Structure 1
């Protein structure tokens, strides 16, 4: 059974991960990544991967799900930044 804190973690994961969707969509649709900082997204991506490893170590479903999806969205933004120069 999932405890209340894990439910809070899942809700936080949903909200923070979903916050990337508008930026991914806008960048993909406009084919422009001018406003994105490659350095920031590379550092953020490494941080997310480290959080994912930590989540796996803790066996925290909310951390694993959130950081896996956020890593994918961040990776897409990095690809868009490199592609849409």
Structure 2
């Protein structure tokens, strides 16, 4: 459940961060970039610290959620493989 929550939170942070997150990760030295509506220095200057932080942390939160889900699946498979098979040797009959 934590992994799914982190993935949803990652998408939310991407939505909040938007262009500020893109410009934080891909500064373009003041030039216009195709993913931003204006130059990144202007976007970062006009964005709140919450937008910049959300954009900067969104990818890491999303990746942590994916890793958490993969770890949960691997642990579940390992647990099921290590369980004793109680009915494996039994036969039906008299």
More helix by share: 1
Report the TM-score when normalising by structure 2: 0.38
Higher radius of gyration, 1 or 2: 2
Higher relative contact order (CA 8 A, sep 6+): 1
Report the TM-score when normalising by structure 1: 0.42
